Structure 1
């Protein structure tokens, strides 16, 4: 098949990384993979893995983006994709308007993935116009069915999969460790409690600081690391975090590391990974990645992240918004040490790819003129 994925950009978020990994798996299976976006640091990785990236500024939530309708129509006519897979709302608008200018028999099938619980309005409803919808978790599926007139048989849950080989059967490089402790000597001999995720209020970094303030009183050998960058416009929240860290007396107990490109190594280094989003998260990729590394995870029991933990590591679940209960779970996980963690098939990349290809086959079989 010829498959064109469309998303706003290729930076470092879960949607972007998932798109690149899926594209790589498509190529390995002999399909032709194309991705259209405004580009970003991950575009080079995409190309290196055998996909074709097409630059097009389809990211802006503004009327100016509708200037990309004709270029998109030309692109579709040139590529003749069998499937267009839309992963965001503005690219979906541009693609559906571009397809209007093509005869029905020359329009490719369209599949959309709900990567989140989008606000309910006509702008978001464009995602339901696809021939088939994919939800990244059961809570996203329930949200879509509750808010849009979508037939249940038109919606499939496909969990985001991780490539286990990228996280498992790896050892920490001594050279990496030497660099690490030169840069962060305060972490030597400490139990590392990691909070991954971009710097954003709803990701729960303030809760993490509150939990660490309780934890270090009971376990002075613990050190917290917050890993993730502040998005443009969120710098003020980073300053708020730094002030709260100082107020709680954690300046020497919690390090803010910013954006990192060695996450797979940090998962191995950490003794416990924390997920503390203050509202239900659609999936929670960091949970699956940490568990795939064999590192225990503590997480609030809500949203897609909880679905992953319920299936893979229920020991780590805690009542939402209860930092004291969260502290107790982290203490239990530290005492228990690293333990075998099994990742069910549905959370693995190869399973995600196979399930998505089955959706593609079903949609193509239902198109007019299909054999």
Structure 2
């Protein structure tokens, strides 16, 4: 973003921004919404988030945003009953911009918004956080006045499948908070407490696998890779950070059984959901990204690089994009588990040079997003 545009954004009038998403429990979309809300407040803007609620609401409120509970999470025709109440809510809020981040809320908001007075209604923005299935239901995300893509592969997906004019699309990577993800996050006190809980991690090269436990994230491939890595190096220990999705506990049980069948009970530890993932990045020798399909962004890649830890990942999707600019030596051919294990072994002893462009930080995301809002308001 040009410096002159950043300066004009910082000196222009404060805005009132409404973000809408299904819920505020956990996940990348939720974290991104809360982080942008915090940055908006710090920049002197008014931030409102509409969702069905969740465990992240308290933190959102503590950081100065307003939260409005609204049943925008249901993927059902009954949700159409919420269109008129949503229209009344948006009219009462008198916001400058409404920013939708998921398909179910986008339908409610768009149906409400299109019947509002064009002269006074807010501008409508959507963020494509994923490569949604191509159908009528998903197409609502392309009905906004301006679209934000979180990676090049997502932008290409939008133009290919929804025929959106590129002038209506801005590429804005999800930004990370340098105060949270940095080389100083992993303190001696934190490590001491962790080793008290998990003594098996001491004096080992930690090979980190972050992400919720779900089949496409690649935990099974990680276990296979660890079984090969341990043959190359006995000084490594795998750590899986993340818990199973609601109703998917059986997948965790499958992973435990697979760990035992591969003889990895003493070499891989599952630590469940953790709020101290930044510290785990700092502890690790290598972070792994092994999703078995194209991931729209792959947030763990820039987070780990910002924390000073190299990443090894399959060369596809958004994860490939950020690793290409931050640590291209970590890229491996998709689904090549043997090559992946060999690359991890090499990276452990390598003098890795890690870089991360400014565009992957929150300050750049906020400036670029505000520029989108202001361009729309100026039209």
Category of TM-score, reference length = shorter chain: over 0.9
Once the two structures are overlaid, the 10-residue window that deviates more, 229-238 or 263-272, is 229-238
Structure 1 residue 340: deviation in Å? 4.2
- In the TM superposition, 1:185-196 aligns within 5 A as 185-196=199-210
Aligned to 1:353: 366
CA contact (8 A) 2:186 2:278 kept: no
Q: Could you give the per-residue CA deviations for residues 303-352 of structure 1, whole angstroms, max 9, x where no partner exists?
A: 00000000111011111000111111101110115x44221011111111
d(CA) in 2 for partners of 1:156, 1:175: 42
> Aligned residue for 1:279?
293
1:237 match: secondary structure:
helix
Shift of the 78–120 alpha-carbon distance from structure 1 to 2, 3 Å rule, reads same
Structure 2 residue aligned with 1:344: 357
Alignment match, 1:199: 213
User: 1:87, 1:114 within 8 Å by CA — same for their partners in 2?
Assistant: yes
Secondary structure, aligned partner of 2:295: coil
Runs of 4+ deviating beyond 4 Å? none
| Pairing partner for 2:163 from 149, 164, 178 | 149
Who is 2:61 aligned against?
A: 47
Partner of residue 299 from structure 1, selected from 298, 313, 321: 313
Of the structure 1 ranges 346-355 and 71-80, higher mean CA displacement relative to structure 2 is found in 71-80
Rounded to whole Å, the distance in 1 between the matches of 2:126 and 2:369 is 11
Within the candidate set 91, 96, 105, 1:82 is matched to: 96
**Contact in 2 for aligned 1:196/1:228 (Cα 8 Å):** yes
Number of aligned residue pairs: give it.
365
| CA drift at 1:257 | 1.2
CA contact (8 A) 2:53 2:69 kept: yes
SS class of match (2:98)? strand
Map 1:105-120; keep pairs closer than 5 Å. 105-120=119-134
The one-character-per-residue Cα deviations of 1:144-201 (angstroms, maximum 9, x if unpaired) are: 1111121111111111111122212515333322221121111111110000001010
Residues 1-371 of structure 1 aligned to structure 2 (within 5 Å) = 1-336=15-350, 339-366=352-379
Mind listing any 5+ residue stretches in structure 2 that lack a counterpart?
1-14
TM-score, structure 1 normalization: 0.96
Supply the RMSD in Å over aligned alpha carbons. 1.2
Shift of 1:127: 0.6
- Corresponding residue for residue 369 of structure 1: none
Kindly state the Cα deviation for residue 107 of structure 1 after the two structures are TM-superposed: 1.6
